[in-house]
Amino acid sequence: MSFIAPRFSPPERILMGPGPSDVPRRVLNAMAAPTLGHLDPDYLAIMDEVRDFLRKVFRTSNEMTMAIPGTGSAGMEATVVNLVEPGDEVIVCVNGVFGGRLKDVAERAGAKVLALEAPWGETIEPAAIASALEQQPGTKAVMIVHAETSTGAHQSLEEISKLVHDAGALLLVDAVTSLAGVPLDLDALKIDACYSGTQKCLSCPPGLAPVSFSAAAVDKIMSRKTKVQSWYLDVSMLKSYWGQERVYHHTAPINMTYALREALAIVLEEGLESRWARHQLNHEALRAGLEAIGLKYIPKHSLASLNAIHVPDGVDEAGVRKRLLTDYGIEIGAGLGPFKGKAWRIGLMGASSTRRHVMTVLAALEDLLKVSGGSAAASDVYAKQ
Q: Around 126, how many Cα atoms within 13 Å sit in the side-chain half-sphere? A: 11
> What is the size of the binding site for a copy of itself (CB under 8 A)?
78
Selected from 153, 193, 221, 252, the binder of a copy of itself by CB under 8 A is 252
How far is it, in rounded angstroms, from Cα 330 to Cα 335? Answer: 16
Selected from 134, 248, 316, 372, the binder of a copy of itself by CB under 8 A is 248
The CA-based diameter of the chain, rounded to the nearest angstrom, is 72
Q: Measured from the CB of residue 341, what is the shortest distance to a copy of itself in angstroms?
A: 14
Q: Which of residues 77-96 bind a copy of itself (CB under 8 A)?
A: 77
Q: Which of residues 266-295 bind a copy of itself (CB under 8 A)?
A: 268-269, 271
Residues contacting residue 274 through CB under 8 Å, at least 6 positions apart: none
Q: Measured from the CB of residue 101, what is the shortest distance to a copy of itself in angstroms?
A: 7
Selected from 137, 250, 316, 380, the binder of a copy of itself by CB under 8 A is 250
165 vs 342 by CB, closer to a copy of itself: 342
Q: 140 and 88 in contact (C-beta within 8 Å)?
A: yes
Q: 181 and 353 in contact (C-beta within 8 Å)?
A: yes
Selected from 13, 190, 246, 342, the binder of a copy of itself by CB under 8 A is 13
233 vs 381 by CB, closer to a copy of itself: 233
Specify the pairing of strand 193-195 against strand 170-174. parallel
For the chain, helix (H) and strand (E) counts, in that order, are 14, 14
Please give the C-alpha separations between residue 140 and each of 45, 77, 104, 112, in angstroms, as whole numbers. Answer: 36, 17, 17, 10
Q: With binding defined as CB under 8 A, does residue 236 bind a copy of itself?
A: no
Q: Measured from the CB of residue 181, what is the shortest distance to a copy of itself in angstroms?
A: 16
* Angle (CA) 194 282 202, round 5°: 35
Q: Measured from the CB of residue 172, what is the shortest distance to a copy of itself in angstroms?
A: 15
How far is it, in rounded angstroms, from Cα 67 to Cα 272? Answer: 19
Q: Which of residues 168-227 bind a copy of itself (CB under 8 A)?
A: 197, 199, 205-207, 227
Q: 53 and 94 in contact (C-beta within 8 Å)?
A: no
Q: Measured from the CB of residue 34, what is the shortest distance to a copy of itself in angstroms?
A: 5
Q: 355 and 288 in contact (C-beta within 8 Å)?
A: no
How far is it, in rounded angstroms, from Cα 6 to Cα 43? Answer: 34
261 vs 279 by CB, closer to a copy of itself: 261
Compose the 324-363 pattern: x for residues touching a copy of itself by CB under 8 A, - for all others: -x-----x----x---------------------------
| Peptide linkage before 20 cis (omega within 30 of 0) | yes
How far is it, in rounded angstroms, from Cα 202 to Cα 196? Answer: 10
Stretch that binds a copy of itself, among 8-16, 287-295, 297-305, 355-363 (CB under 8 A): 8-16
261 vs 287 by CB, closer to a copy of itself: 261
Q: Measured from the CB of residue 126, what is the shortest distance to a copy of itself in angstroms?
A: 28
Q: Measured from the CB of residue 379, what is the shortest distance to a copy of itself in angstroms?
A: 28
Q: Measured from the CB of residue 232, what is the shortest distance to a copy of itself in angstroms?
A: 5
Stretch that binds a copy of itself, among 17-25, 128-136, 308-316, 371-379 (CB under 8 A): 17-25
